[in-house]
Amino acid sequence: MSFFTELAHQYIDGEWRTGNGSWDIIDFNPYNGEKLAAITVATVEEVDQAYRAAERAQRSWGETNPYTRRLVLERALRIVEERTDAIAEAITEELGGTRVKAGLEVRLAMEFLREAIQLAPRPEGRILPSTVDGRENRVYRLPVGVIGVISPFNFPFLVTLKSVAPALALGNAVVVKPNQHAPVVGGGLIAKIFEDAGLPAGLLNVLVTDIAEIGDALIEHPVPKVISFAGSDRVGRHVGAVAGSHFKRAVLELSGNSALVVLDDADLDYAVDAAVFSRFAYQGQVCTAANRVLVDSAVADEFTEKFTARIAALRTGDPADPETDIGPVINSFQAEALTGLVDQALAEGATALVRGTTRGNLVEPTVLAGLPAGSPLHRQEIFGPVVLLVTFDGEDEAVRLANDTPFGLSGAVHTGNVERGVRFAKRIVTGMMHVNDSTIQDEPMVAFGGEKYSGLGRLNGDSTVEAFTTQKWISVQHGRTDFPF
């Protein structure tokens, strides 16, 4: 199957369609600039059609036995298993993901599908006591109805499935708007998998469009009750504000500025390995990536020597080449922005311990040290293969530096004493913190989300059940109530 020929369309109410907009989104390979597809954007009218189709289909789906719903998820998992290589190849083509990144994304997506299969029968009702004699309080957990999903370009297959699969398992319908840089991997491909798995028409819809065409229609529409968004904090703030003004629940997974902290008793060779992966996986275009590597001054010289040697040896080039470590960033705008960021840091007094060059969308790794403490670059997200190396004296200063950012998504600490690491982790204001590991982690059953500007709400496991279901109280009076008048 040629994914970029057959799946580069709108998918509404079980039909593959051409959008009715007046312009096209062009899907490019970020490495070689090859045009993969041209997709005519969906209009506001098609947003309404998708949501109305989802609303109609959800009524019977929500009443379907959860074990029957689970069968669709099981078939979807088998399809992904059968098409693993083709999906990974599409990730490389559309996103510039290396072979390692593509393989990791598909494997994680399968784990999340396995968890979604188990979620279908998980929601439980309760019977609660009452202050009134003869009354029985029943609390039912029900699907919310229809969920709008807005997914990012960096891990579109995984992140979209993280919302779509459990939402369907729990009895909801879904409308997905993939990022315009990932319309197939984050949209059409997922629709095709569930179509082939036998999902009834209307339960999953994909709209390839842009805010320039539809404005806030995807969020403001009266049908969806939950908006699941992953992307930048700037856009996420807007999504949350619009959703809130329409009394919709928003689950927001936003930007990060994670720190990987190396304490004075860490295994330095292992910490170097973790730091290299934490910063440079998928060219650093990961919300949980380690923008900052903080190293105790007692071990800074040794760590820095090993760290910079590893980074200087990373290979930048064609992501389809299995020997490539660093592929292209997503577009020329991002490449130029990263070059400008490095120039800014150097102008502020930083030193480039490793200075990569930029060739088209290929941005080689750069390590910056000695950036003045007051530089705003310490506090912002750097979405690319540029890392800040910062030294500190003692744990208290490390905590202060790690927390000195408006973001709080992930982080990691390396130490020879696990309990010391746990105590340190508790002091960092993040949604997630990892002891002796990478900052880039995601597991199907563990709550994923951030603090501060890094998001609102959580997904995965029981957190997903909470996000995509609602509770309904039904009381039953056995006998007669003695009313006061």
Read off the pLDDT of residues 97-152 as tens digits, 9 standing for 90 and up. Answer: 999 999 999 999 999 999 999 999 999 999 999 999 999 999 999 999 999 999 99
Quick one: 66 and 196 in the same domain? yes
Report if residue 109 sits inside a domain: yes
Phi and psi dihedrals of 45, rounded to 5? -60, -40
Catalytic residues: 253, 287
Quick one: 231 and 274 in the same domain? no
Structure tokens at 220: 């403001």
Read off the pLDDT of residues 334-354 as tens digits, 9 standing for 90 and up. Answer: 999 999 999 999 999 999 999
Report if residue 167 sits inside a domain: yes
Quick one: 283 and 406 in the same domain? yes
Quick one: 232 and 279 in the same domain? no
- CATH code of the domain covering residue 199: 3.40.605.10
Report if residue 339 sits inside a domain: yes
Give the chain as a 3 state SS string. Answer: CCHHHHCCCEEECCEEECCCCCCEEEEECCCCCCEEEEEECCCHHHHHHHHHHHHHHHHHHHHCCHHHHHHHHHHHHHHHHHCHHHHHHHHHHHHCCCHHHHHHHHHHHHHHHHHHHHHCCCCCCEEECCCCCCEEEEEEEEECCEEEEECCCCCHHHHHHHHHHHHHHCCCEEEEECCCCCCHHHHHHHHHHHHHCCCCCCCEEECCCCHHHHCCHHHHCCCCCEEEEECCHHHHHHHHHHHHHCCCEEEEECCCCEEEEECCCCCHHHHHHHHHHHHHHHHHCCCCCEEEEEEECCCHHHHHHHHHHHHHCCCECCCCCCCCCECCCCCHHHHHHHHHHHHHHHHCCCEEEECCCEECCEECCEEEECCCCCCHHHCCCCCCCEEEEEEECCHHHHHHHHHCCCEECCEEEECCCHHHHHHHHHCCCCCCCEECCCCCCCCCCCCECCEECCEECCECHHHHHHHHEEEEEEEEECCCCCCCC
Q: What pLDDT, on the 0 to 100 scale, is given for residue 260?
A: 98
**Orientation of helix 156-169 relative to helix 461-468, angle to 10°:** 60
Mean pLDDT of the region 201-225: 98
Contact 130, 141 (CB under 8 A): no
Q: What pLDDT, on the 0 to 100 scale, is given for residue 482?
A: 87
**d(Cα 239, Cα 257) in Å, to the nearest integer?**
21
Report if residue 139 sits inside a domain: yes
Contact 144, 467 (CB under 8 A): no
Report if residue 289 sits inside a domain: yes
Report if residue 448 sits inside a domain: no
The range of the structural domain enclosing residue 335 comes to 258-435
**d(Cα 128, Cα 135) in Å, to the nearest integer?**
10
Report if residue 414 sits inside a domain: yes
Looking at 2-6, 36-40, 224-228, 404-408, which range is the least confident one? 2-6
Report if residue 485 sits inside a domain: no
Quick one: 85 and 198 in the same domain? yes
Quick one: 188 and 285 in the same domain? no
Structure tokens at 192: 């095709």
Rg, Å, the chain Cα set: 24
Quick one: 201 and 76 in the same domain? yes
Quick one: 100 and 120 in the same domain? yes
Quick one: 78 and 201 in the same domain? yes
Read off the pLDDT of residues 9-40 as tens digits, 9 standing for 90 and up. Answer: 999 999 999 999 999 999 999 999 999 999 99
- Domains identified in the chain, total number: 2
Quick one: 426 and 467 in the same domain? no
Asked if residue 200 has pLDDT above 80, the reply is yes
**Orientation of helix 84-95 relative to helix 99-119, angle to 10°:** 120
Read off the pLDDT of residues 243-278 as tens digits, 9 standing for 90 and up. Answer: 999 999 999 999 999 999 999 999 999 999 999 999
Asked if residue 1 has pLDDT above 80, the reply is no
Quick one: 126 and 236 in the same domain? yes
Q: What pLDDT, on the 0 to 100 scale, is given for residue 2?
A: 79
With a CB cutoff of 8 Å and minimum separation 6, the contacts of 226 are 144, 147, 148, 248, 249, 250, 251, 467, 468
- CATH code of the domain covering residue 422: 3.40.309.10
Quick one: 118 and 225 in the same domain? yes
Mean pLDDT of the region 349-375: 97
